[in-house]
Each structure stands twice: as C-alpha cells, then as structure tokens.
Amino acid sequence: MFDLTGRVVLITGATGGIGGAIAHKMKHAGATVVVSGRNAEKMNSEFDDGFIKIVADLASDGAAEKLVADTIAAAGKLDILVNNAGITRDTLLMRMTDAQFDDVINTNLRSCFKMCRAAIMPMMKNRFGRIINMASIIGVIGGPGQANYAASKGGMIAMTKSIAAEVASRNITANAIAPGFIKTPMTDVLSDELKKSYLAQIPAGRFGEPDDIANACVFLASDESSYINGQTLNINGAMGRF
C-alpha cells in the first residue's frame, strides 16, 4: 500500500533495534535507504550492499551538514529524514552531572535540530519532504532517573510542531513518533524489576516490537500521510492513553 519507490530516505542511529527495523522496512517499500551511525563495523554487519552506509558522529560540529551533503552526493537527493539517533545516561536528578545532562541533550535533541536544519533547504527546493523525529513516551510522561532523556525527547516533540508550522506550505511534513517500551538493546538493560513495573502499566500486556515503530515510519513517509503534520504518534500499547 505504501510505495516509496523513487524516494531517498536517510536514517540516523540506524544500527540495532528500531533503526535497523526502519531501514529494512523502508527498503522493502521501495526506497533508496541511506543508513548512518558511528560504528562502521556494526553497520557493515547489519546492512548489506543494498544500503548506502555513511559513518557519522552527529555530536561533532558540522557532522549533520556533512551527512546531508554526503547523502545527496551518494543518492542524488533527500526526500525523507528519520532522526533516530539517541542515547541514555539515566540517574536520579540530584546525582546527575552536567556532562550526563549535556551528552543526552546534544545527542538526542541538538543533533535532531541540526539534521532538520540541514535537510530542510534541499527539501524545500524539491518541494517535497518527510521529517520523522523519534521521540519517546518518556518525553510525554517523564520517568524517574530520566530528567535528561525526558527533556531531550519532550523538546523534540515541541520542536517538531514548530518545524511543521514553518514548512507545511512547501509540501513538507514533520511528525514525531513516541514509542512506548519496545524490545531493543536500550530496554534490555533495564532491571527485571523495572521491566515488570512497566509491563504492569501496559494494557496490551507486552512490550512492543521494533517493527511496530518501523511500520508507522513507512506510513508517515508515504504520500498517504500528506495531511498529517505537526503530530506525535504515540505507539505504546495503550500505556498512558493520552
């Protein structure tokens, strides 16, 4: 149903978990897929030669602009941007260091801002674009020991709404996805006690799968979603029901 043939998609934080699922779903839908991450060895092990692979550390100055330029040089254009790069540095606020706060804000929010800023101009020239920012349920409801992560993801949601208002007239959409608890390496490190606590809050009775998020990404990247703009799609098994 959702045909992305002829589209070029760039996915940051593409290795492992949600990023990998998005990349494979986008390719299956017909898109030319550019995957980016910091670990070249990991990218080469997870993606075959059917993907364009670009190593980039988005925490570095100028990395976002270079990544967009390299994508256009390799694939000819940029139609769809999925900002999926993210980290956690969880600890209680009274113990959180400035570095732990800054690391998460820089990787999760600041890099998203830079990527969006770099991608908008070529999208405006083409009069087409899809920006999909990967937020989190924690950016909506907060979470103990995650003040830095919540701030970064909540900021991403608000920024996405502002971007949408700026670029909607140019046939560009900007939407966020706020996953609940998805089975990924990031959630695997949670203690069994914490997992049990979170599971009790999910009416669906299970954690989500990376494909649950990837399927939504393909939809938001497609022509069928052209009038959905500035929204946050909450995918969480009814956790929170907001």
Catalytic site residues? 149
Beta bridge partners of 95: none
Report d(CA 166, CA 8) in Å as an integer.
22
User: Where would I find the H helices in the chain?
Assistant: 17-28, 40-46, 63-75, 98-104, 111-126, 138-141, 147-167, 185-188, 192-199, 210-221
> What's the Cα-to-Cα distance from 107 to each of 16, 116, 181, rounded to whole Å?
17, 14, 20
Measure the CA angle with vertex 17, ends 11 and 18; round to 5°: 50
11 three-class SS? strand
Nearest partner of 57 among 9, 123, 103, judged by Cα: 103
